[in-house]
């Protein structure tokens, strides 16, 4: 690179020689000092290229060589290839060009390794047409050079990216300004959004969203999310210019320059095909799984019918005169048949659970009652080598909402496993209230045994369908290997979990499950009234029987009961408690008529649930409908207390299970009469 500075090498002649000489002296020493002390590596060479002046800057680069040593020597002596200086050939070229052109010559040189760069500046000074001297300056431009390189690279990269982005057709990639207006548009965007660049640039990107999304300000929300999280990704329907839609994956990223948001990049992919494929796969899978479950359910059902026939016939056969050998064989058939039936029932349950057609009903459940009832059934038939124990948390709710049948099924199954695999020691059932909040209870139920236990390797697959942990056990112990997986599904349907851990006593297993039961709002008054009656019992030293005999005076009772034996017993019991005004209804219809006509209303109505013509629940409803507020006590022989308690939710005041326990009846009557006494507006007769 050659630059003319327009410098006149012929100095103007000064008008005053003496002054000129004085000045010249000063100027000469000044310029010599200036050159010597310059931090820029500088050389002054005479016409024969001998060194006449060296700057401090150059001495620094040369490292250690003294100025005196260099002065007078040829320029070639300085440019040792070992030093980080331009090579001698380049220097020579620069000098000869400067001499030839008689102008300032500038030359840039980059070392072959690319790590250092020099800018060489040669100024030839001629006097009267002959070369007097050459000033050579060497600038280290490495830093500038690197910057330049970087800049060039960046420009190339940007250009590459721009071309990439603009031409890619599988993705819509474009920029939004900070307000969400489209700023750039690529071929992909044009291709699957249908808008041309000139049509869309400057318009808001919410044009790609459906009406519902726009109404919810989803586009605005996405920009805010992107700023907050640094990125926002969404999958959903987006709309083309022609109104057709496609399933899109969208990523929005905010773009900053420094700290200023300059916009957002938005990348949209069309996933319609993928989604369609996924949907196809899912529906195919669901269909297959449904068919499988249906097949299982149908098969099980079909097998069950003849099985029942066989087993019934077998029972009859066992009642006939059989010789001992025949009896043995028949018993084998019976036992195997029963196992088979259990297997089929399990499969039926399992396939119902698997196909999701297993519904959970919501009735009133008392954990204590269920466990006691299951416990009793095992108490009857357990071997004397096993001790059966139960620990029930007194805080367990007396009544809560849940599926009592499913709960019972889990307890029964765990108990049956425990007793099956335990030959001696104990089997224990524990139930605790684990958590309680405003709406629900979480009940933890554990079945602990000292049986054969579960080897650690098998514990992970315990709840997997059709697995029994030990093949040899299968031979000794009957079963489908479905029980626990059914329990697991049931526990999950009840809003809980199921699990296993070894018995810390060293032998046997602990199986536990949790179930979430809803609280019943209607029952609150019952519990508080029971509390009141307890308080009452404390405050009065008299026995409940004496209390009721006092309370019964002049009270009228309607007894609705269709069974004459129960009528007689109830009337006898009531009159024994001091009631002498007892009317009798033989069915629900009669009960309603009598309750409505009786004036003033009865003080107590005792209502059997299953009655001809009109059942107790409907009768109670009709009585309430006629604005008669007498307490109605349901009497029920239903096995599950839970069912009975649901009657309270249906308008009954309280309930009592059959056979009617006198003490319990007294308690309930006292409750009703005391409450009735507070509420009733009529005078006792």
Give residues in contact with another protein (CB under 8 A): 301, 304-305, 308-309, 312, 315, 345, 405, 408-409, 562-566, 568-569, 572-573, 576, 608, 610, 637, 639, 658-662
Considering the complex, state which of residue 322 and residue 637 has its C-beta at the smaller distance from another protein. Answer: 637
Local structure of 464: helix, strand or coil: coil
Local structure of 105: helix, strand or coil: strand
Pairing of strands 556-560, 581-585: parallel
**Closest separation between CB of residue 378 and another protein, Å?**
14
Considering the complex, state which of residue 148 and residue 564 has its C-beta at the smaller distance from another protein. Answer: 564
Considering the complex, state which of residue 419 and residue 428 has its C-beta at the smaller distance from another protein. Answer: 419
**Closest separation between CB of residue 610 and another protein, Å?**
5
Under a CB-based contact definition with an 8 Å cutoff, are residues 545 and 527 in contact? Answer: no
Pairing of strands 632-636, 654-657: parallel
**Closest separation between CB of residue 606 and another protein, Å?**
13
Residue whose C-alpha is closest to residue 91's, from 130, 59, 49 = 49
Residue whose C-alpha is closest to residue 400's, from 359, 430, 370 = 370
Residue spans of alpha helices (H) in 168-270:
187-193, 197-200, 211-215, 218-229
DSSP letter for 267, please: E
Under a CB-based contact definition with an 8 Å cutoff, are residues 483 and 462 in contact? Answer: no
Considering the complex, state which of residue 23 and residue 639 has its C-beta at the smaller distance from another protein. Answer: 639
Considering the complex, state which of residue 187 and residue 569 has its C-beta at the smaller distance from another protein. Answer: 569
**Closest separation between CB of residue 566 and another protein, Å?**
5
Cis preceding linkage at 91, omega within 30: no
CA contacts within 13 A on the Cβ side of 596: 15
**Closest separation between CB of residue 640 and another protein, Å?**
8
Instruction: Give residue 252's Cα distance to chain centre.
Output: 24
Element spanning 44, H or E = strand 42-46
Considering the complex, state which of residue 514 and residue 657 has its C-beta at the smaller distance from another protein. Answer: 657
Considering the complex, state which of residue 65 and residue 662 has its C-beta at the smaller distance from another protein. Answer: 662
Token pair listed for 571: 């009337």
Considering the complex, state which of residue 507 and residue 549 has its C-beta at the smaller distance from another protein. Answer: 549
**Closest separation between CB of residue 472 and another protein, Å?**
31
Where do we find the tokens 């236990």? 453
Considering the complex, state which of residue 257 and residue 380 has its C-beta at the smaller distance from another protein. Answer: 380
**Closest separation between CB of residue 443 and another protein, Å?**
20
Under a CB-based contact definition with an 8 Å cutoff, are residues 121 and 106 in contact? Answer: yes
**Closest separation between CB of residue 344 and another protein, Å?**
10
> In whole angstroms, how large is the CA radius of gyration of the chain?
51
**Closest separation between CB of residue 564 and another protein, Å?**
7
């Amino acid at each position: 690179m050659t630059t003319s500075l327009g410098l006149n090498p012929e100095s103007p002649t000064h008008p005053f020689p003496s002054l000129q000489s004085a000045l010249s002296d000063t100027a000469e020493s000044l310029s010599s000092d200036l050159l010597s002390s310059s931090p820029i590596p500088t050389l002054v060479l005479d016409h024969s290229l001998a060194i006449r002046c060296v700057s401090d800057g150059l001495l620094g680069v040369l490292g250690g060589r003294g100025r005196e040593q260099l002065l007078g020597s040829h320029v070639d002596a300085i440019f040792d290839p070992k030093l980080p200086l331009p090579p001698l050939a380049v220097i020579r070229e620069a000098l000869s060009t400067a001499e030839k052109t008689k102008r300032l010559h500038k030359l840039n040189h980059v070392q072959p390794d690319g790590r250092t760069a020099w800018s060489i500046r040669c100024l030839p000074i001629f006097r009267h047409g002959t070369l007097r001297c050459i000033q050579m300056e060497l600038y280290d431009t490495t830093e500038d050079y690197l910057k330049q390189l970087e800049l060039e690279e960046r420009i190339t990269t940007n250009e590459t990216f721009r071309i990439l982005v603009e031409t890619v057709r599988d993705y819509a990639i474009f920029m939004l300004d900070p307000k969400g207006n489209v700023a750039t548009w690529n071929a992909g965007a044009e291709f699957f959004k249908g808008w041309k660049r000139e049509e869309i640039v400057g318009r808001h990107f919410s044009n790609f969203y459906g009406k519902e999304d726009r109404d919810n300000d989803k586009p605005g929300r996405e920009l805010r999310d992107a700023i907050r999280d640094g990125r926002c990704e969404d999958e959903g329907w987006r709309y083309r210019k022609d109104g057709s839609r496609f399933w899109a994956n969208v990523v929005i990223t905010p773009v900053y320059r420094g700290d200023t948001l300059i916009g957002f990049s938005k990348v949209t992919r069309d996933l319609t095909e993928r989604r369609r494929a996924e949907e196809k796969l899912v529906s195919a899978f669901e269909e297959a799984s449904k068919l499988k479950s249906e097949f299982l359910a149908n098969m099980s059902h079909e097998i069950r019918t003849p099985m029942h026939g066989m087993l019934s016939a077998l029972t009859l056969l066992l009642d006939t005169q059989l010789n001992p050998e025949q009896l043995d064989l028949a018993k084998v058939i019976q036992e195997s048949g029963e196992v088979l039936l259990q297997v089929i029932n399990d499969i039926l349950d399992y396939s119902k659970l698997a196909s999701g057609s297993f519904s959970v009903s919501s009735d009133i459940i008392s954990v204590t009652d269920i466990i006691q009832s299951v416990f009793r059934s095992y108490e009857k038939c357990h071997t004397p080598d096993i001790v059966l124990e139960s620990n029930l948390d007194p805080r367990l709710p007396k009544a809560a909402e849940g599926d009592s049948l499913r709960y019972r099924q889990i307890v029964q199954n765990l108990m049956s496993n425990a007793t099956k695999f335990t030959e001696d020691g104990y089997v224990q059932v524990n139930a605790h209230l684990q958590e309680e909040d405003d709406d629900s209870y979480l009940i933890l139920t554990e079945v602990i045994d000292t049986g054969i236990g579960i080897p650690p390797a098998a514990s992970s697959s315990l709840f997997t369908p059709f697995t029994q942990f030990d093949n040899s056990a299968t031979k000794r112990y009957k079963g489908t290997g479905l029980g626990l997986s059914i329990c697991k599904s049931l526990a999950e349907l009840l809003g809980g979990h199921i699990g296993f851990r070894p018995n810390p006593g060293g032998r046997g297993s602990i199986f536990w499950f949790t179930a979430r039961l809803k609280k019943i709002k209607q029952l609150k008054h019952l519990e508080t009234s029971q509390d009141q009656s307890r308080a009452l019992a404390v405050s009065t030293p008299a026995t409940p029987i004496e209390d009721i005999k006092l309370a019964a005076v002049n009270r009228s009772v309607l007894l609705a009961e269709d069974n004459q034996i129960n009528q007689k017993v109830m009337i006898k019991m009531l009159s024994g408690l001091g009631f002498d005004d007892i009317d009798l209804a033989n069915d629900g219809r009669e009960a309603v008529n009598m309750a409505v006509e009786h004036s003033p209303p009865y003080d107590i109505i005792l209502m059997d649930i299953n009655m001809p013509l009109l059942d107790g629940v409907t009768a109670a409803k009709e009585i309430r409908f006629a604005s008669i507020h007498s307490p109605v006590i349901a009497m029920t022989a239903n096995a599950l207390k839970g069912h009975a308690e649901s009657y309270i939710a249906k308008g009954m005041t309280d309930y009592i299970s059959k056979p009617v326990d006198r003490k319990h009846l007294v308690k309930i009557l006292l409750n009703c009469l005391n409450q009735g006494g507070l509420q009733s507006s009529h005078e006792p007769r």
